[in-house]
Chains A and B, each alone.
Chain A
Amino acid sequence: MNKVETALAVAASAPVGRSLWADARRRLFANRAALLSIVVLALMVLLIVFGPMVSPWSYDYIDFDGTWRAPPQIEGMHFFGTDQLGRDLFVRTLVGGRISLMVGIVATLVSLLIGVAYGATAGYFGGRIDSLMMRGVDILYALPFMFLVILLMVVFGRHLVLIFVAIGAINWLDMARIVRGQTLTLKNREFVMAARASGVSNGRIIRRHIIPNLLGVVMVYVTLTIPQVILVESFLSFLGLGVQEPATSWGALVNEGARDMDAAPWALIFPAAFLAVTLFCFNFIGDGLRDALDPKDR
């Protein structure tokens, strides 16, 4: 046996280190509900992205000869039927899903950016700056934001960018609190102290020790924020304050569907089901991630 082979044999027999992330992934995939949710969500995204390309109909094509067609209309390619203007509900549901998901993700990213920056600053500097910044968060936190967002939409009109900003501006508060708390405790943990004692630079401590430990909590929170944001958007759309016709979102479709539900229940049920299943999946994944990343419950 030559030296290289010996070295390889030693390496193979050494205990395999499990990184935090490999460990978390294993636990997440062991959670059947979370795994199923990931699969369903992936299929949903594929359907939303490619479905409208496959269908011969466009989301705003009006056909007064084909109103209220009940599903399934396989030969007419109206898989989910049509609405009161004869528009294809399959395509409208999927296109509405694009808007709902996009709002969910973009607005969550907005809140992620503001929240992490704010929370990390407050937690890192600590002391008076921290208490001042967090007092500000407390004051904002008590505001009934939903009403202010509605007011905003009423006053400035329905605009997609405004929805992103308004919803993102609500959700950063939670993120800031969580990140700040996490930074505060991490800062004083033994492994950070050990790293500091062995002369590791501040930047490297933050990169190697603080951020990876923050990431888990932030990821859980992001996953749980997306469904909340989708919910807020659909709430606004339901009130007629969200996206503008002929563009649509799940909330707007539910609103239209609810109006004529005794005559055409499919116009309510399909978008409602898509909305509920998506929220369901995000919530399950978020819960699964939390269990997977929380070392307390091992």
Chain B
Amino acid sequence: MLRLALLRIASAVPTLLLLLVLAFFMMRAAPGGPFDTERSLPPEILAKLEQAYHLDEPLWKQFARYIGGAVQGDLGPSFQYSDFTVNQLILQGLPVSLRVGLGAMVLALLVGCGAGIVAALRHNRFSDHAVMTLAMTGMSIPVFVIAPLLILLFAVTLGWLPAGGWQNGGLRDMALPVIALALPQIAILARLMRGSMIEVLNSNYIRTARAKGLATRTVVLRHALRPALMPVLSYLGPAAAGIITGSVVIEQIFGIPGIGRYFVQAALNRDYTLVMGVVVFYGTLIILFNFLVDLLYGVLDPRVRAV
């Protein structure tokens, strides 16, 4: 188990480093600087500014400084919001993003796995086909199409829920963004769950359990569920990545003051440190999440541990 953990860490570190290197040098390869404004600044002031942000140092030194900071959790100052550091901006948006993201994850897992199990138990019957067709539809409609359609239906036409904004972060504010964010993941999880459940239900030990006269409920919950959940578990990493990526769009559409909305604004404003800070922050989060899922996989599946 320890060996597995060390192996996973060993492969996570180069990924993280690569992410930092790519993000840093891409940002520096950009034409123009962060202080290009409509009126060009007097050269003395520009020099002072560059000095203040260490932009006058050689590139490798800046890189070392950035890595040094990032390792200690300091992502530098924001160029656009000059009174804030990138850390402050991210921490400000984090609770909101976390609520929406976790909400979507939980919803996707519950509904997706539930629908998948139902479809598997009714294999090749009407409810199976219905769930699979719905799942295919869910997979084929992008997040940024679902969100406006949901607003059009529930906010504009029916008037049940707010079309956007973040009053107090209650259920009313969260409902539409969370659903929009979860739908594609629900679709993918339902398909995954159905596939692995069908395979498990066809295996010999399930037949034995049934032959013993156990109720379907017991067979599914006690014997089939755990092995059938393994592929779902390994999809959790990509699912988290998908939800985080989707949140960038969702937060913009619904006007939610999370990290994703900063990201889009920063991208359009060419606020390179903020863009990069978000990339590094979310990238690290995804890599960490993948790491945890891998470990969990090792805990649940004894065969992986031996490797």
Q: Which residues of A contact B (CB under 8 A)?
A: 135, 138-140, 142-144, 146-148, 150-152, 154-156, 227, 231, 234-235, 238-241, 251, 254-255, 257-258, 261-262, 265, 268, 272, 275-277, 279-280, 283-284, 287
Distance, CA A148 to CA B278, complexed state (A): 11
Is A276 within 8 A of B29, CB to CB? no
Distance, CA A150 to CA B156, complexed state (A) = 31
- Ordered nearest first, which 3 A-B pairs have the shortest CB separation? A279-B140, A280-B140, A258-B148
- Within the complex, the shortest CB–CB distance from A153 to chain B, in Å, comes to 8
B276 within 8 A of A: yes
**Would A238 and B15 be within 8 Å (CB), given that A151-B276, A261-B148, A262-B156 are in contact?**
no
Question: Complex formed: what's the CA distance from A156 to B30 in Å?
Answer: 6
Contact A283 B140 (CB under 8 A): yes
Number of A-B contacts (CB under 8 A): 127
A143 touches B19 (CB 8 A): yes
- Complex CA–CA separation, A275 to B145 (angstroms): 9
- In the assembled complex, how far is the CB of residue B32 from the closest CB belonging to chain A, in whole angstroms? 10
What 1/0 flags go to B176-213 for Cβ under 8 Å of A? 00000000000000000000000000000000000000
Residues of chain B in range 225-271 having any CB-CB distance to chain A below 8 Å? 241, 244-245, 248-249, 252-253, 263-264, 267-268, 270
Contacts of B175 in A (CB 8 A): none
Residues of B within 8 A of A272 (CB): 141, 145, 148-149
Complexed CA–CA distance, A221 and B252 (Å): 32
A56 to B263, CA, bound (A): 41
Instruction: With CB as the reference atom, state the residue of chain A lying closest to B22.
Output: A148
In contact, A238 and B144 (Cβ under 8 angstroms): yes
- Measured between beta carbons, the chain A residues less than 8 angstroms from B97 are none
| Given A276-B141, A276-B145, A239 contacting B267 (CB threshold 8 A) | yes
B273 on interface, CB distance cutoff 8 Å: no
Q: Which residues of B contact A151 (CB under 8 A)?
A: 23, 26-27, 275-276, 279
The reply to whether B144 and A142 contact each other, CB–CB distance below 8 Å, is no
Once the chains are docked, how many angstroms separate the CA of A251 from the CA of B147?
13
Would you list 27 pairs from A and B whose C-beta atoms are within 8 A, ordered by A residue? Answer: A142-B12, A143-B18, A144-B279, A144-B286, A147-B279, A147-B282, A150-B248, A150-B267, A150-B275, A150-B279, A151-B27, A151-B279, A154-B30, A154-B275, A156-B30, A238-B144, A239-B264, A251-B142, A254-B148, A255-B144, A257-B148, A258-B144, A258-B147, A268-B152, A276-B137, A279-B139, A279-B142
B interface SS class: helix
User: With A135-B11, A146-B245, A283-B140 as given contacts, are A258 and B253 in contact (CB-CB < 8 Å)?
Assistant: yes
Q: Which chain A residue shows the least CB distance to B16?
A: A142
Proximity string of chain B (57-97) to chain A, C-beta cutoff 8 Å, 1 when within and 0 when not: 00000000000000000000000000000000000000000
New A-B contacts (5) at CB < 8 Å, excluding given A142-B290, A150-B279, A258-B147: A235-B245, A235-B249, A268-B149, A268-B152, A280-B136
Q: Which residue of B lies closest to A282 (CB)?
A: B140
Is B151's CB within 8 Å of the partner chain A?
yes
- Which residues of B are at the interface with A, using a C-beta cutoff of 8 A? 11-12, 14-15, 18-19, 22-23, 26-27, 29-30, 136-137, 139-142, 144-145, 147-149, 151-152, 156, 241, 244-245, 248-249, 252-253, 263-264, 267-268, 270, 272, 275-276, 278-279, 282-283, 286-287, 290
**Chain B, Cβ-Cβ closest to A239:** B264
Bound state CA distance, A261 and B137, in angstroms?
22
Complex contacts, A143 vs chain B, CB 8 Å: 15, 18-19, 22, 283
Task: Collect the chain A residues with CB atoms within 8 Å of residue B137's CB.
Answer: 276, 280
Q: How far is it, in angstroms, between the C-alpha of A238 and the C-alpha of B275 when the chains are bound?
A: 17
A156 contacts which chain B residues (CB < 8 A)?
29-30
Residues of B within 8 A of A235 (CB): 142, 144, 245, 249
Give chain B residues whose Cβ lies under 8 Å from the Cβ of A148.
Answer: 19, 22-23, 26, 279
CA–CA, A280 to B137, complex, Å? 7
Cβ contacts under 8 Å, A275 to chain B: 142, 145
Q: Is the CB of A139 within 8 A of B148?
A: no
Q: Which residues of A contact B27 (CB under 8 A)?
A: 151, 155
The residues of A that contact B151 with a CB separation of less than 8 Å are 261
CA distance A39 to B180 in the complex (A): 30
